Structure 1
């Protein structure tokens, strides 16, 4: 069985046909229940709340939409696209991720989540690529691309971005704090923006330039009271 999905890019609609197995696999990878520890990170959002930059539903939504386009689309999503398209680039992209994480918190997050996802995939017999081309303990976007191999590229990026959005929405609920309805409205905003972010990632080489996020992450490392690890 297969499922046909219509997605909207920057200028055109794209039709993607997924087998049932591929659709379920991407749903599984995007699930907050996946044992990779994403719930324990806010990716600088908690520090933005502490600094008064995020105060309510509107500012939280604005912050996360900007982060989606300026950080995720240019960085992790582009890395997933490169590795999913060419597994031989896994080592190169893994090194790039490690080198461009601007704080110890961000680097440890990517390494921990990547190792956990790799362990999950291996426990199910889904390592994805030959051992010779698979870096040991890869960073998260590389591990995700490896685990998702065999699924359509655009759908893979949509699932990655939505999983990130769910985790960040939950981080906003806890750190601002916000109610569940506000969280769902933020998630709806992010879902509307994801196709454009994915379209950008499919066309670009990975980039990393988010100085304000780096400053906030560095401050978070010594923040007095914290709910999250980043």
Structure 2
């Protein structure tokens, strides 16, 4: 069955939201990859691709993507108690100081961007220290895009930032970066479908090796990235 075509305005909005050019600072974070390069043998294109593939399925799909899918629906239903609970879950399950800093800073920057485009954003987020996926969900909810398409955009934006981090940190050439991005793009739809099917009890943030590497990154001698 051929999927229904996306509304052009919503499609363009999702492309905009996923763009690394959006001023939220995603390019500044490697999410533990920089430590993996130094300490865990991620020193080639194939190793970096494997690492990011695992991070997508074991981390992002089971945590932030699942929150995003649930938060889009909650924003559309104006269920603020649900939104606050999801936001608290994100903040409380960050496994290192750097991971917490990232979602807080990107969430805060995203809200500042939202204020330029949505008159009520200042009031909505006034008492909510929004995490990045919850702020992103607000923007998606204001379009006619499906939850699935919103999650695909979020995941692809993550893939672009992480591929860029791999190119700089391993380091790799631009061709290698494009091959990694193509591999991630091929598996993102399955990760999104998995995330959308998770209940609250199934959602999780448990990546112990990544948490250890993130903690070690805080004192890493030479760093390009904030995480």
TM, length-normalised to structure 2: 0.91
Contact 2:35 2:213 in 1 (8 A): yes
Distance 1:127 1:161, change over 3 A: farther
Aligned to 2:88: 95
Q: Does 1:115 align with 2:108?
A: yes
CA distance in 2, matches of 1:135, 1:209: 28
Q: Does 1:228 align with 2:222?
A: no
Q: State the 1:129 CA deviation.
A: 10
Q: State the 1:79 CA deviation.
A: 0.4
Long gaps (5+) in structure 1: 1-12
Matches within 5 A, 1:1-230: 15-87=3-75, 88=79, 89-125=82-118, 127=120, 131=124, 136-149=128-141, 150=143, 151-205=145-199, 206-230=203-227
TM, length-normalised to structure 1: 0.90
Q: Does 50-59 or 67-76 show the bigger shift?
A: 50-59
Q: Does 185-194 or 202-211 show the bigger shift?
A: 202-211
Root-mean-square deviation (Å): 1.7
Q: State the 1:123 CA deviation.
A: 1.3
CA distance in 1, matches of 2:6, 2:87: 27
SS in 2 for 1:229: coil
Q: State the 1:25 CA deviation.
A: 0.5
Q: State the 1:154 CA deviation.
A: 0.5
After the TM superposition, which parts of structure 1 deviate over 4 Å for at least 4 consecutive aligned residues? 126-130
CA distance in 2, matches of 1:86, 1:147: 12
Select the structure that is richer in strand: 1
SS in 2 for 1:15: coil
Contact 1:47 1:220 in 2 (8 A): yes
Contact 2:115 2:122 in 1 (8 A): no
SS in 1 for 2:205: coil
Long gaps (5+) in structure 2: none
